[in-house]
Structure 1
């Protein structure tokens, strides 16, 4: 979850699902959000 006002990104299993897959998907989404915000 990227908060545009603060520039903070949260990632982990709490945001993408309770398993390892959720953590990975959350991390990938966070990385994409950061990449897009820097472009």
Structure 2
């Protein structure tokens, strides 16, 4: 495997993880806006 392919794979995985993390925090924010925390 070449270094370029490895860096491309790593950046793709990192981008997908950060995107998933962003959407996850966004959904949590929407839930907290809809109904206040009871904890």
Return the TM-score normalized by structure 1: 0.53
Q: Which has the higher contact order (CA 8 A, sep 6+)?
A: 1
As a proportion of its length, which structure holds more helix?
Answer: 2
Return the TM-score normalized by structure 2: 0.53
As a proportion of its length, which structure holds more strand?
Answer: 1
Name the count of aligned residue pairs: 22
Bigger radius of gyration among the two: 2
Cα RMSD of the aligned pairs, angstroms, is 0.5
